[in-house]
Amino acid sequence: MRRPLLVLAAVVLGATAVSAQNVTIIKERQDHLKKMGDAVKPVGAMFKGEADFDLAKVQAALKVIQANAPQLPPLFPDDSKTGGDTEALPKIWENKADFEGRFQKLADAAKAAESTITDEESFPDAWKTVVGNCGGCHKQYRKPKS
Ligand code: HEC
């Protein structure tokens, strides 16, 4: 006669675990995103003509993107929809395949740009393609800045 009670207890505990907010993983994904943001910033200044072109810095940023983008998809589990100071929109979990595919696309674009960007002439167009992936995803899946 005890078994139904145990099963009920397991169900209740399970439900509690799922609704708990995973703030650790939210912080972790924000750290990966911030690393990409920090790498992209100085190159953005070159793109705008506010800093001198520096191929080594561009290539370094492309490496940082390739290292971080593929790590991001698993950092958006179901228990991390809210919590901390997350700017992630609920739409992410309604379009998971599209969302995750965008990180892959970003990594692929950064890889391709490594060989495309060889000098100041080849830089702007290829760079625009890479960072277009950042803005494209933010527009859909990140809370707009208020
Ligand atoms: C597939 C979607 C996607 C792509 C691609 C993407 N981001 Fe984001 N980004 C997000 C989401 C979602 C957040 C909000 C995460 C959160 O707060 O939980 C975010 C947040 C950030 C943040 C703020 C992190 C913090 O400290 O809170 C920075 C910086 C950032 N992204 C930079 C970039 C850059 C640079 C690129 C391109 C090289 C990029 N992102 C590509 C989805 C994306």
Domain coordinates of the chain in residue numbers? 22-141
Tokens of residue 1, six digits: 């006669």
Q: Given the CA of residue 76, which atom of ligand 1 is nearest to it?
A: 18
Prediction pTM value:
0.89
* Cβ contact 127:61 at 8 Å: no
Q: Which residues line ligand 1 (CB under 6 A)?
A: 26, 29-30, 33-34, 36-37, 40, 65, 86-88, 99, 102-103, 106, 131, 133-134, 137-138, 141-142
Mean pLDDT of the chain: 91
Which superfamily does CATH assign the domain made up of 22-141 to?
Answer: Cytochrome c/b562 (1.20.120.10)
**21: pLDDT confidence band, cut at 50, 70 and 90?**
confident
**5: pLDDT confidence band, cut at 50, 70 and 90?**
low
Residue 19 sits at the vertex; the CA angle it makes with 16 and 102, to the nearest 5 degrees, is 145
How close is the Cα of 19 to the center of ligand 1, in Å?
Answer: 24
* Cβ contact 60:37 at 8 Å: no
- CB count within 10 Å of CB 101 equals 12
pLDDT in tens, 92-143: 999 999 999 999 999 999 999 999 999 999 999 999 999 999 999 999 999 9
Residue 87 sits at the vertex; the CA angle it makes with 61 and 60, to the nearest 5 degrees, is 5
Gap between the Cα atoms of 21 and 57, Å rounded: 37
Q: Given the CA of residue 37, which atom of ligand 1 is nearest to it?
A: 35
**Substitution candidate for ligand 1 out of 62, 96, 108, 142 with most atoms within 8 A of CB:** 142
